[in-house]
Amino acid sequence: MKKKIAILGSTGSIGKTLLDIINIKKFEIILLTANKNYKLLLHQAKIFKVKNIIVKDYLSFKKALIFNKDKNINIFNSYDVFNKIIRKKLDYVMSCIIGIDGLKPTFTIIKFTKKIAIANKESIICAWPIIKKELIKNKTEFVPVDSEHFSIWTEIKNINPKKIKKIYLTASGGPLLNHKIQTFRNIDISSITKHPTWKMGKKISVDSATLMNKCFEVIEAKHIFNLNYKQIDILIHPDSYVHAIVMYNNGFSKIIVHDTTMKIPIFNTIYSNNEVYTHMNLLSLKKLNKLNFQTVMINKFPLVKFLNSLSERHSMFETILVSVNDTIVNLFLEKKIKFDKISKLISEYIYSKKFTKYKSIKPKNIDEIITLNREVRLKILSQIV
Q: What is the CATH number of the domain that holds 349?
A: 1.10.1740
Q: Does the pLDDT value for residue 275 go beyond 80? A: yes
Order of all β-strands in the sheet with 141-144: 74-76, 52-55, 27-34, 3-8, 92-95, 115-118, 141-144
Residue-wise pLDDT for 149-165, tens only, equals 999 999 998 888 889 99
More confident residue, 180 or 273: 180
pLDDT over 80 at 132, yes or no: yes
Domain extent, residue 85, equals 3-145
- Domain boundary, last residue among 98, 129, 145: 145
Give the mean pLDDT of the chain: 94
Binned at pLDDT 50, 70 and 90, residue 274 comes out as confident
pLDDT of 353 over the 90 cut: yes
Query: In this structure, are 81 and 141 located in the same domain?
Result: yes
Per-residue model confidence (pLDDT) at position 47: 96
Is residue 369 scored above 80 in pLDDT? yes
Last residue of a domain, one of 310, 342, 357: 310
Query: 21: Cβ–Cβ under 8 A, 6 or more apart, which residues?
Result: 263, 266, 267, 270
Question: pLDDT-derived band of residue 1, with 50, 70 and 90 as boundaries?
Answer: confident
Alpha carbons 223 and 131: distance in angstroms, whole number: 11
Per-residue pLDDT, averaged over 352-369, amounts to: 96
Percent with pLDDT over 70 in the chain: 99
Decide if 359 contacts 317 (C-beta within 8 A): yes
* 306 shares a domain with 163: yes
Which of 310, 344, 371 terminates a domain? The answer is 310
Distance separating alpha carbons of residues 192 and 78, to the nearest angstrom: 34
Number of domains the chain is built from: 3
Residue 226 pLDDT? 93
103 and 246 in a single domain? The answer is: no
Distance between CA atoms of residues 42 and 46, nearest Å: 6
User: How far does the chain reach from its first CA to its final CA, in angstroms?
Assistant: 55
d(CA 351, CA 188): 27
Do residue 380 and residue 262 come from a single domain? no
**Distances in whole angstroms, Cα of residue 188 to Cα of each of 96, 175, 176, 238, 335:** 27, 11, 11, 21, 9
C-alpha radius of gyration, the chain, whole number: 21
Lowest mean pLDDT among 22-31, 271-280, 364-373: 271-280
* Together in a domain, 203 and 279: yes
Q: Is the pLDDT of residue 79 over 90?
A: yes
